[in-house]
Amino acid sequence: MSLDRTTSQVLFDNGTHKCISFTSLVKGEGVQANQFLIIDHERAAVLDPGGDLTYIPLTMELNRYTRLANLDYVMASHQDPDIITSMPRWLVYTDAKVVASKLWARFLPHLNSAFMSDRMKGNWLDRLVELPDQGQSIALGHAAILAIPAHFLHSVGNFQFYDPVSKILFSGDMGASMVENASQPLEDFEAHIPKMKAFHQRYMCANKVIRLWVNMVRKMDIEMIVPQHGSAFIGKEKVKQFLDWIETLQCGVDLMDERIFHCPV
Ligand code: FE
């Protein structure tokens, strides 16, 4: 398989700590999705690696930056197919632990429990870091990644991953957009709104929980918000523009009414 050398972007690199984004590994019918690698002092974590569609191209890309033997974690913001359906492969072919909400711990083995139990190293509970609702700090190399709560944005047990070294918030589906080229920097925020509005109106649960999230995030020192689909918000001005916009958005149950809830026949 030949690899497009533009598939990865180095978001941050200070010599011992790196954050890398992969924006164009999904081919075919699957929705565009970004995958991420964080490395600190040679220890590595993969964030939202996706499913079978991305497992092989992603592992080939990872080998350009680290060895699979250095992979300590596969972190999942939530349970969706484009997030973590490759989980059995990571459990069989690496020693990485899966980091996910405690709400999904009993559901994830359904992805392929026979394959896992036959061939995975260790048992499922030893390979799982179950996140409590309030989140937690996860040691990586000489640093730590913070799992921060983003429940109902959009999944019932939903986390984002904040890297205090790079000051990047890996935001899962918050801030997601459908764009031609996810590796291109976002220039015009107003022109970007139509590329994310309908998605957030349907996939995010309610404005109440968006405001809780925005209030928390405004207190954090964030240089980039990097979603799992589409363009990143790079720089404090773009981060502020996104927070100001999403804070007032009505979405999810705010928009449900009798026009949807009536019997179609
Ligand atoms: Fe999702």
Domains contained in the chain, number:
1
- What is the Å distance from ligand 1's center to 25 Cα? 18
Q: Does residue 237 fall inside a structural domain?
A: yes
In this structure, how many other beta carbons lie within 10 angstroms of the beta carbon of residue 125?
Answer: 8
- What is the Å distance from ligand 1's center to 82 Cα? 7
pLDDT at 4: 46
- What is the Å distance from ligand 1's center to 84 Cα? 10
- What is the Å distance from ligand 1's center to 158 Cα? 9
pLDDT at 186: 93
Write the DSSP string, the chain: ----TTSEEEEEE-SSEEEEEE-S---TTSPP--EEEEEETTEEEEES--SHHHHHHHHHHHTTTS-GGGEEEEE-SS--HHHHTTHHHHHHH--PEEEEEGGGTTTGGGGTHHHHHHH-SS-GGGGEEEEPTT-EEEEETTEEEEEEE-TTSSSSS-EEEEETTTTEEE-TTTT----S-TTSPP--HHHHGGGTHHHHHHHS--HHHHHHHHHHHHTS--SEEE-SSS--EESHHHHHHHHHHHHT---GGGG--TTTSS---
pLDDT at 112: 76
- What is the Å distance from ligand 1's center to 31 Cα? 11
Looking up residue 207, the CATH number of its domain turns out to be 3.60.15.10
pLDDT at 29: 81
- What is the Å distance from ligand 1's center to 151 Cα? 12
Q: Does residue 261 fall inside a structural domain?
A: no
- What is the Å distance from ligand 1's center to 257 Cα? 23
- What is the Å distance from ligand 1's center to 154 Cα? 6
- What is the Å distance from ligand 1's center to 254 Cα? 19
- What is the Å distance from ligand 1's center to 203 Cα? 8
Q: Does residue 260 fall inside a structural domain?
A: no
| Domain region containing 132 | 5-253
Q: Does residue 264 fall inside a structural domain?
A: no
Q: Does residue 70 fall inside a structural domain?
A: yes
- What is the Å distance from ligand 1's center to 219 Cα? 25
Per-residue confidence of the chain (265 residues) as pLDDT tens digits?
334 445 799 999 999 999 999 998 888 888 889 999 999 999 999 999 998 888 999 999 999 999 999 999 999 999 999 899 999 999 999 999 999 999 998 888 888 766 666 788 888 889 999 999 999 999 999 999 999 999 999 999 999 999 999 999 999 999 999 998 898 889 999 999 999 999 999 999 999 999 999 999 999 999 999 999 999 999 999 999 999 999 999 999 999 999 989 888 8
- What is the Å distance from ligand 1's center to 164 Cα? 24
Q: Does residue 217 fall inside a structural domain?
A: yes
pLDDT at 105: 86
Residue 153 to residues 11, 168, 174, Cα–Cα distance (Å): 24, 18, 7
Q: Does residue 82 fall inside a structural domain?
A: yes
- What is the Å distance from ligand 1's center to 15 Cα? 33
Q: Does residue 263 fall inside a structural domain?
A: no
- What is the Å distance from ligand 1's center to 78 Cα? 7
- What is the Å distance from ligand 1's center to 265 Cα? 30
